[in-house]
Amino acid sequence: MKPVALAAVAVSAAAAGAAFFLYQQRAERAVPPPPLATQAPVARLAETIPEFQLADREGEMRSLAHWDGTARIINFWATWCAPCRREIPLLKQLERDYGPEGFQVIGIAVDFRDKVLAYADEMKIDYPILIGEQEALDAAAAFGVDVIGFPFTIFTDRRGRIVAAHMGELTEAEASLILASVRKVDADQLTPPQARAEIEAGLSALQHESADPD
């Protein structure tokens, strides 16, 4: 797969120390420090969804190809990540609002299985979840993200082409903007590179509005 330049990246991201966190947790199962905010890097993404398999909530191995034919919203998260936890109600809402028109939210938890299952039950997460530790980190890296921070979300069209990636916690306005461009890709009104340019301009405008509400 040829990499393509990422155009749609939010300016804030959660901590990128997931590998160290998992190592530390295996050693002592300690409560992790809160994620640190950091500047989101410019990344180079794969053109299409990479091949990998992770266990679902029932323990069955699945690849993202299981949801072929849908425009996928692939969210990487962890139970210890505060922005990830805050984002879950929005992801549930996106599943309800956009699912009927062919969008599919998929959570990929980079965390311990028992913690993920307990938290998913507590939050009543109703979209599919795939779970892993190092193998989930490897899956994140396979998308071509330069520095992995949580949460981050990949948006694809129905053909499995990667349209955009968003580092950091999504807002409803950002999600609506990105999904509107994905719709245009699915309708052959835009190519993925054109959609990324449109998303970048739209996110920039949103950031300007939030910084200067007057």
Query: What does the pLDDT look like over 6-54, one tens digit per residue?
Result: 434 333 333 334 443 443 444 344 434 334 333 344 457 899 999 999 9
Tokens encoding 136: 């989930």
- Crossing angle (nearest 10°) for helices 172-186 and 82-98: 50
> For residue 213, what pLDDT band results from cuts at 50, 70 and 90?
low
CA-to-CA distance for 60 and 130, rounded, in angstroms? Answer: 9
Q: Strand, coil or helix: what is 132?
A: strand
Domain residue limits at 62? 3-211
For the chain, the domain total comes to: 1
pLDDT confidence of residue 149: 85
| Token output for 50 | 């990479």
The two counts, helices (H) then strands (E), for the chain are 6, 11
Q: Give the CA-trace dihedral at 196, 200, 205, 207, to 10 degrees.
A: 130
Supply the mean pLDDT for the chain: 83
pLDDT digits (tens, 9 = 90+) for 97-135: 999 999 999 999 999 999 999 999 999 999 999 999 999
Report the pLDDT value the prediction gives residue 214, as an integer from 0 to 100.
58
Q: What's the CATH code of the domain at 172?
A: 3.40.30.10
The per-residue pLDDT for 146 is 67
